Amino acid sequence: MVYLDHAATTGVRPEVAADVTAGLGSLGNPSSLHGHGRAARRTVEESRERIAAAVGCTPHEVVFTGGGTEADNLAIKGLYWARNAQDPARRRVLLSAVEHHAALDPAQWIADHQGAQVEYLPVDRLGRVSPETLREAVGSDPDSVALVSVMWANNEVGTVQPVRELAEVAAEYGIPMHTDAVQAVGAEPVDFAASGVGALSLSGHKLGGPVGAGALVLARGLTPVPVLHGGGQERDVRSGTVPTALVRGLATAVGMAVDEREEHVKHVSALRDELEARVREAVPDVVVNGDPQGRLPGIAHLSFPGCEGDALLMLLDAQGISCSTGSACSAGVAQPSHVLLAMGADPDTALSSLRLSLGRSSTSEDVAALAAAIGPAVERSRAARAKRRY
């Protein structure tokens, strides 16, 4: 079996598994005042400090969540509600057109149910939002903008956004900016304070941590309206008993990913380049998507003219190779990738793509297995599509 879908989720690191397992055997609610509770609270706060040190923020700015999706929802919904309550004229929400659905869908929800006006920032053919584009979108009425949200790095094509420059534009107008950094932590040098953003989402299972643990980093003075209400944990921003064992594992995963980032980048970058070269040999007309000079090191996003991505995925899966498409599926019908469409691709190209993503456990043998399988898979996909057309 060959696993080339590390951007979807990657293996839990042994050190993380050991931490979580040990934590699951410990009693104590971190909100309780007795000795068991204080011991759990100590673990939670030490974990908060470790994450803060890794991503360049203060411990007070780390709010634990159940993952990246919850962090995005809390940032987008919560900041909109807070800013709109301060001034009902603040109804505009500016998002890049290539955001993950964890950001797009909550924005659409507040548009449908809360009166928000969602505007999508266009990207260039590499998938990047320019600071000039953001400035133009803010326009002559910056007081009407509730927030800006642009992901640090794209989960499909891997393009890295000019986050600091975008945050500078937002700051000029006093607009808070959120960034989804789920794919970036451990792959890019993520420094919250230096970036200038007001809120940053991260998730554990993308970098060797447990599923079900993430965080929203919130700058001091920025307080979103809660999405969850209850016991008032996590600065009264995210109620719910903090899962001590999971946040301990999250902190270990984040710390190790950041500490080992340079070595990891070197490893997966070399494999990605090898993979793309081997695929080009087998399929000369393959198209590599994203910014060749500024993308995540472990992602190869490839379009295969004349093919359908979901057919290729299943043909590779039959050979024991796991990867993903960028397209979505609705009622059994594949939909083209919104990311590629926003980058200017036609619908056929947007439906013909695969995302092959590498991780710590990836090897040259994995690349060789893909290289051997991709040519025949493309031939079969093209033949089947041609037969249907006639």
Residue that is written with structure tokens 């011991």 in the block: 39
Per CATH, the number for 261-389 is: 3.90.1150.10
pLDDT, position 33: 96
Kindly indicate whether the domain formed by 14-259 is annotated with CATH number 2.30.110.10. no
Indicate if the pLDDT at residue 216 is higher than 70: yes
Per annotation, catalytic residue among 57, 307, 323, 329: 329
Q: What percent of the chain lies above the pLDDT cut of 70?
A: 97
What is the band of 333 on the pLDDT scale with cuts at 50, 70, 90?
low
Q: Which of 326, 299, 320 is nearest to 372 (CA)?
A: 320
Distances in Å between the Cα of 124 and the Cα atoms of 97, 132, 155, 303, 360 are 10, 12, 16, 18, 31
Using CA atoms, how far apart are residues 255 and 33, in angstroms rounded to an integer? 29
* pLDDT tens profile 254-272: 999 999 999 999 999 999 9
Q: Is 323 a catalytic residue?
A: no
Contact between 126 and 155 (Cβ < 8 Å): no
Per-domain residue ranges for the chain? 14-259, 261-389
Strand partners, 355: 301, 324
* pLDDT tens profile 67-122: 999 999 999 999 999 999 999 999 999 999 999 999 999 999 999 999 999 999 99
